[in-house]
A and B are shown apart, each in its own frame.
Chain A
Amino acid sequence: MTIHIPSALRSYTRQQSEVQVKGSTLGDVLSELDNRYPGFRFRIVTEQDKIRPHIRIFVNDEQAQGLLAPLDEDDRIYIVCALSGG
């Protein structure tokens, strides 16, 4: 599946805006990304496994509420940096 990387996180992905990943849940995918790009996951997920307050993750058109969100092979995942002040 394809995961879209926002500009704030592309320093981890060598400036790639899209990355191909595998996994059956959002948690799996983010762990895989962290293996590939160390430090990536902690910037968007807390140590209590919660998505951080100013981060939103969408699976196709729906906002994921947590890391247990199930994924299909052809899903598109969007990590979005929400508004967080000037």
Chain B
Amino acid sequence: MAKTTSDTTTTKGPVTLLIGTRKGAFTLRSDASRRTWKLSLPMFLGHIVHHMVLDPRDRRTLLMAVSTGHLGPTIYRSTDAGKTWKESSAPPAFQKMPEGEKGRSVDHVFWLTPCHANEPDAWYAGTSPQGLFRSDNGGVTWTAFSYINEDPQYLEWMGTVQDGTPDGPKLHSIIVDPRDPKHLYFAMSGGGVHETVDGGKTFTPLIKGLDTVEGFDAATVTFHDPHCVRLCPSNPDRLYQQNHCGIYRLDRPSDQWVRIGKNMPKAIGDIGFPITVHPRNADVAWVFPMDGSTVWPRVALGGKPAAYVTRNAGKSWTRQDKGFPRADAWWTVKRQAMSRDGHDPVGLYLGTTSGEIWASRTEGQSWACIARHLPEIYAIETATLGR
């Protein structure tokens, strides 16, 4: 039986990247030094793989959120670290509404999160359009979690498909407090950040301090567009957020987000999609800024890719572009496509819309391309597979 690894544990040995792309899933496995990498053959070639996640509680079970251009959404699950896969017998689906009433349909499952370490085989899933689901049997069957999927107030906050991102509004960043399985966060694009402390009996918005697009009322939950939220494993009272309107930090029990992106260089700004945090130092976080000017090109600013790191909880930021192209690189990193491992120093991984994977073994001080010519990359998760 493989051991469960705490998210703050310093890991050693080979790292496996779980890569979801617009045309299938791949794994990329390193040697112990993380210098050489071996790419797998594609899995589910041609399927849209939105997220692939390892269960850290057994380090053998993998779930993969899948759809295709034609077919509806499903979840595949493997209990042998990806050797074989079976389809969920009841994937996430909204409540069937009576004839004549308008009901929602899941377009795709976007986000997967294993539940608390004390809840083996339990998972959460976030969907597009926004829905929150749970499985208590390792992803075999899924049911709506909590009341929000059909709640009139939440439906108003979720808005319509027109209010969401170009490929559909999403529920994402489902975060479980490692100290308390009843304490969860999730985020919606659009629809703000939300929290429950009673296992989903009640949820409350957590949007104070967050900006909205100019001219929109920041007190209206609907107008908030968090792109990615991360909790610091080493200090679960601290969260970081990359939002449509800036980079933020929240230190609980405060409910007031602080816009730490204002400390970014003015020429760069604080717009982007992904954010990732250090496993053992809550003052350290990385972002990958993108061009949010005019029509929102959503590419590396000036065609010059760079990560930015803060080592003091957002008081200042340092550019990290060594190894990246110096010019003419017009790619984007999606919100699920930036990840890190648990090594010391921490390894960082970026997947681009142009199908490249960039890695840093030095916490961002230098970067190297470790795979190219893949399909458009949607998501990267790191995994330490059990034997």
Q: Which residue numbers of A lie inside 8 Å of B, CB to CB?
A: 8-9, 38-39, 42-50, 52, 54-55, 81-82, 84-85
| Residues of A with C-beta under 8 A to B103 | 47-48
Contact B96 A8 (CB under 8 A): no
B316 adjacent to chain A (CB < 8 Å): no
Count how many chain B residues have C-beta atoms less than 8 Å from C-beta atoms of the other chain.
Answer: 19
List residues 40-95 of chain B with CB under 8 A from any CB of chain A. 68-72, 74, 87-89, 91, 93-95
Take A48-B96, A49-B96 as given contacts and tell me if A82 and B105 are in contact as well, using a CB distance cutoff of 8 Å.
Answer: no
Contact A46 B105 (CB under 8 A): yes
B369 adjacent to chain A (CB < 8 Å): no
Contact B71 A44 (CB under 8 A): yes
Contact A8 B89 (CB under 8 A): no
For residue A86, give the distance in angstroms from its CB to the closest CB of chain B: 9
| Residues of A with C-beta under 8 A to B106 | 46-47
| Residues of B with C-beta under 8 A to A46 | 72, 105-106
Among A8, A46, A85, the most chain B Cβ lie within 10 Å of the Cβ of A46
Take A42-B93, A48-B97, A48-B103 as given contacts and tell me if A84 and B70 are in contact as well, using a CB distance cutoff of 8 Å.
Answer: yes
Take A48-B103, A50-B105 as given contacts and tell me if A43 and B93 are in contact as well, using a CB distance cutoff of 8 Å.
Answer: no
Take A38-B89, A39-B87, A42-B91 as given contacts and tell me if A47 and B96 are in contact as well, using a CB distance cutoff of 8 Å.
Answer: yes
Beta-carbon nearest neighbor of A6 in chain B: B70
| Residues of B with C-beta under 8 A to A43 | 71-72, 74
For residue A35, give the distance in angstroms from its CB to the closest CB of chain B: 12
Contact B94 A8 (CB under 8 A): no
Beta-carbon nearest neighbor of B92 in chain A: A47
- In the bound complex, CA of A38 to CA of B104 (Å): 22
- In the bound complex, CA of A42 to CA of B88 (Å): 11
Q: Other than the known A47-B105, A48-B94, A52-B72, what 13 A-B pairs have Cβ atoms closer than 8 Å?
A: A9-B71, A39-B74, A39-B88, A39-B89, A39-B91, A42-B72, A42-B91, A46-B106, A47-B94, A48-B96, A48-B97, A48-B105, A82-B70
For residue A69, give the distance in angstroms from its CB to the closest CB of chain B: 16
- In the bound complex, CA of A50 to CA of B93 (Å): 13
